[in-house]
Every structure is written in C-alpha cells, then in structure tokens.
Amino acid sequence: MHIGVLTVPLADESLIDSLVHLDDLGVDAIELGCGGYPGQDHIDRQILLNDPDAQAELHSTLEEYDMTVSALATHNNPLHPDDDSAERADKELHEAIQLADQLNIDTVTCFSGLPAGGPDDEIPNWITAPWPTEHADAHKYQWNVAIDYWADLAAHAADHGVNIAIEMHPNMLVYEPRGMLKLRDQTNDHIGANFDPSHLYWQGIDITTAIRLLGEHDAIHHVHAKDTKIYDTNVNEKGILDTTPYSDEQTRSWLFRSVGYGHDESHWKDIVSTLRMVGYDGTLSIEHEDSLTSSREGLQKSVDVLSRAIFETTSGDVYWAE
C-alpha cells in the first residue's frame, strides 16, 4: 500500500517543486488533475495527449523523484442539462481515459455527474427523498440518463484498459455505496469507486462496512485519504445538511479535516486493515481540504498518520495455524 497525494493543493508550485516537497515527506505517488474542478496546473492534458515526446519528458521527471501516478483526476458533471457544460465534461473524461492509457496509468478519478430532474429542466437536481412522487419520477429519469451515458463511457474505458474510479459525492447521482454498485451493475467492471470516506462520514455511513460491501464486488478502484469532523453542537441545532459556507468553520455542522483530525489513528488503521482484507493494496491518495491549516502542514500531518497505519509488506502466511 502506498501514500499518495492529489496535487491540487500545491497548484501554486511547479510540478518539480511539488515533487521535491512530496518526496521529502515520503510520498510514493501523486494523483494529477487534468480537467474539471481539479484543473490542470501540473500537467496539460491537451499538450500531453498523443505526444510521445511530452509524455517521455513527464515520465523522466517522475522517475527522477521515484514517483508514480495513481490516477488522473477530472471531476466535473458530464450529465449536466446544459449542453455546453456536459460536452466539456464529457470531452475531459474521454481525453483523460485516452491519456491515462498512453501514460500507462490505470485509473481516472471523477464524479458520476448529476442530471436535471426532467428533460426540460435547466439545473442539476439532487434527489434525496421519494416523496412527493414527482421526486421519485425525477430520480428514475436521472438514472435512465446516467446509465445511457455511463454504459458508453465504460465501453470506452474498457477499450483503453483504464478503470474509472467514481467519487461517491453528495450533489451527484452516485453518492453512496449501493448507488455505486447499481451503476457498476448496469455498465461494466471498469466502473468502480474512488473510495473517499470524507463524504460518507456525515451521511452516517459506516466506513469499514462500506469498504466490505464494495470489496465484495471488487469495486474499489482508488482511495482518497480525507477526514471529516462532525461538530455535534451545531448538528444538534440545525442537523447534518449544511449550506453554511466552508469558510464559516465555527458554525458548520461538519468540516473536511486532515487525516487524524476527524477520526483517530486507530480508526485509520481499521480502514487500512479492512482495505487489505478486501484485496485493495493500491494508493491512499491524500486530498487536502482542511481550512484550519495550510496545505503543506495538512499534507505533512496526514502523511504522518498514514505512515504509521499502512502496511509496507505483503500479507503473511498463517503459519501458527498450520
């Protein structure tokens, strides 16, 4: 198992400066934004695509710092009811998959996207209840739109030998494990999860139970290491659904936190152990979105916790039971 970092928080630094810093921290892998919300500050997707010389230069830079790439990241909404927005997100995804293939990277991370509630609506609509009944009708419409789109994209991913790791994210159609499995069942095995616990904590989902559920279907393609702290004082007043700006930390019901600052080290050791039980031995890619500290300090604190949690050797034999 490896410690990785999504490099977006280091966007104000060059790729080389970021690699120097991450190598000093003991990071083994990076997840590179190449479109959508992550942007592409450290690589330019369109420059690299179909350019062997540019790709060779990137490989040389990575090798210099003994760094691998766990995934290319392009999080956007390919199901957006606005045609221009959907086409832009779709192009990013298709090109990211092609580029991953050319760079020998096996995973692209993304969102499922979220359609409108009907063919004449103009705004994506996150449905969270089946009543009034028009909400159930809208949800059914959304799944029909999503399956039609993702079946084609899954075939594209299969053609290129690339896995698509979907982050289960509120305000997207796939935001919890059973929805993830539903989309996978309706497409192919190249569709799986970018397992990010931070969005599951505040939904009340048990993290190790979710890992076991997805692991039973071999549906974890990538993992984000990102914590969340729930502040009960605020939850007791207004509940867990919270539209308070992320910058208003004192009054939010929950905040994204550096690893170890939402849940203790033993919890993260349970996560690592359960991931190994279900056969995941890839990268834990730290996604820093903790507004209570700087990117550099948050990454260092997260690496510190994970370095004591991960296993560096392969599973041993049960010699004592033989």
Q: pLDDT tens digits for the chain (322 residues)? A: 999 999 999 999 999 999 999 999 999 999 999 999 999 999 999 999 999 999 999 999 999 999 999 999 999 999 999 999 999 999 999 999 999 999 999 999 999 999 999 999 999 999 999 999 999 999 999 999 999 999 999 999 999 999 999 999 999 999 999 999 999 999 999 999 999 999 999 999 999 999 999 999 999 999 999 999 999 999 999 999 999 999 999 999 999 999 999 999 999 999 999 999 999 999 999 999 999 999 999 999 999 999 999 988 887 788 778 7
pLDDT at 312: 84
Q: What is the DSSP pairing of strand 227-230 with strand 2-6?
A: unpaired
pLDDT at 238: 97
pLDDT at 313: 84
Domain hosting residue 159, numbered range: 2-321
pLDDT at 316: 74
- The domain tally of the chain equals 1
Sign of CA dihedral 143, 145, 146, 151: positive
Q: Any idea what DSSP says for residue 39?
A: -
- CA dist 238 → 224, 231, 241, 242, 252 (Å): 28, 11, 8, 8, 9
CA 228 to mean position of chain CA atoms: 15
Q: Whose CA is closest to 28, among 204, 226, 259, 225?
A: 225
Specify the CATH number for the domain of residue 28: 3.20.20.150
Q: Rounded CA gap, 315 and 319, in Å?
A: 12
Which of 246-278 are b and which e, b meaning 16 or more Cβ less than 10 Å from the residue's Cβ? eeeeeebbbbbbbbbbbbeeebbbebbebbbeb
pLDDT at 209: 98
Q: Torsions phi, psi of 34, nearest 5?
A: -140, 25
**Could you identify the residue written with the tokens 């003991």?**
26
Q: Rounded CA gap, 182 and 109, in Å?
A: 18
Q: What is the DSSP pairing of strand 107-110 with strand 227-230?
A: unpaired
Q: Rounded CA gap, 25 and 45, in Å?
A: 27
Residue 36 token pair: 């959508």
pLDDT at 145: 98
225: left (phi over 0), alpha (psi -120 to 50) or beta: beta
pLDDT at 315: 76
Sign of CA dihedral 21, 23, 29, 32: positive
